[in-house]
A and B are shown apart, each in its own frame.
Chain A
C-alpha cells in the first residue's frame, strides 16, 4: 500500500474542521502526526519498496520548490544539472516516477545536498531512520505547488533543506 494524500482525505478533514478558525499551515501538529501515522503503510514483505515509495512525493516537491525558490525554470535547472527537462518534469509531477541514479547525483550537486539523503528521498535507497521518514512525510504534506512560494512554503522548504544538510 502506498501513502497517498488523496482529495477524499482532504475533504473529510476539511468537513471535520467546518466552523473552526483557520490559519494557514498546520492547525494541530499532534493531530497531523496522528493522521500521518494512520496513513503509513502496514509492514509487508515488500516493506523496502513501500518505504522508499513513501518518500518520492517529497523528492519531487523538494526539487520543485527549490527550483521555484531559486527562480529557475524547468529548462534552466535541466541545463544547470545537465539533465533532460522531460525527466525533471516527471520527477516534479509524477509521484510514482523513480529517477535514474545519475540524475539524483546531478541534483545533489546542484542543490548542494547530501547524495545519500536524496537517494532515500528519490526511492533509490532505503534506511531504517524513522526521524528521516517523519520529516520527509511532513514536508511532502506541507508543500503545495504554486507559481510562487508563500511564506509558509518557503519556511517548510528551508527547514527541510536544513534538515537534509545536517546529514548524520
Chain B
C-alpha cells in the first residue's frame, strides 16, 4: 500500500482522539496494554482463522447481539475476508474487532491497534455504517486505511513518547533497538481460540 500523506488538520484530529484514549487510561507508561484500551472503549475482540473456512464461518454465524444473529448470511463475511484478503476487521455496529490469528504474531498488535483506531474516529464510523448499497472508491478506502495506520502508530508509540525516549538515549542503533522491549507488549502465545460471541 502506497504512503498517502494526511492533511495536517486530519492528522491532528486523529491525534486528538488518541490523546483522549491515553488520557482515559491515565497516560500509562509503556508498553500500552491494548486489552485496557478495548476495555475503556467497550470493544469486543475475537480471533478467526483465514485458512479455516469452517472455523471462520462458525465465528460469523455466532455473531449475536442481544441473542439475535446479526449476520443474515454469515458466508458473506467469509467471502469478504477471503476476497479482500482482510487481516483484521472492525464491525462498528457491534463494536467488535476480528483478528486473523494466521497472521504473524508480531503483526497482531499492529492489526489490533489499526482496528481500534477505526473505532475511535467518528468519521470512520459514519463511513462504515453507511448505506450498504454504496461502495467506497479505492481512493477513499486507501485514505481511510492510511488514517487508521497513522492512528495505530500514534497509539502504540504513545504519541511522542517513543521520540522522547529515543532522544533521551545515546544515539546508537543498540540503544534505540533496546526501546523495542519497552514499547512492545508481549503478544499472546496462545490466543483464545474462536470464543463464541457474547
B-binding residues in A (CB < 8 A): 48-49, 52, 82-84, 87, 98, 100-102, 105-106, 115-116, 119-120, 123-129
Asked whether B13 is an interface residue with its Cβ less than 8 Å from the other chain, the reply is yes
> How many inter-chain residue pairs (CB < 8 Å) link A and B?
67
Question: Are B135 and A124 in contact, with the CB atoms below 8 A?
Answer: no
Question: Are A101 and B123 in contact, with the CB atoms below 8 A?
Answer: yes
Q: How far is the CB of A124 from the nearest CB of chain B, in Å?
A: 4
| Contact A116-B134, Cβ < 8 Å, known A87-B7, A102-B10, A102-B13 | yes
Question: Which of the residues B7, B10, B131 comes within 8 Å of A116, measured between beta carbons?
Answer: B131
User: Which residues on A sit within 8 Å (CB–CB) of B143?
Assistant: 100-101
Q: List 30 A-B contacts (CB under 8 A).
A: A48-B135, A49-B137, A52-B137, A83-B9, A84-B9, A98-B140, A100-B6, A100-B7, A101-B143, A102-B10, A102-B147, A105-B122, A105-B123, A115-B127, A119-B127, A119-B134, A119-B136, A119-B140, A120-B134, A124-B136, A124-B137, A124-B139, A124-B140, A125-B130, A125-B134, A125-B136, A126-B135, A126-B137, A127-B131, A127-B135
7 additional A-B pairs beyond A120-B134, A125-B130, beta carbons within 8 Å, are A48-B135, A52-B137, A98-B139, A100-B143, A102-B13, A106-B123, A127-B134
Question: Are A119 and B130 in contact, with the CB atoms below 8 A?
Answer: yes
Question: Are B144 and A101 in contact, with the CB atoms below 8 A?
Answer: yes
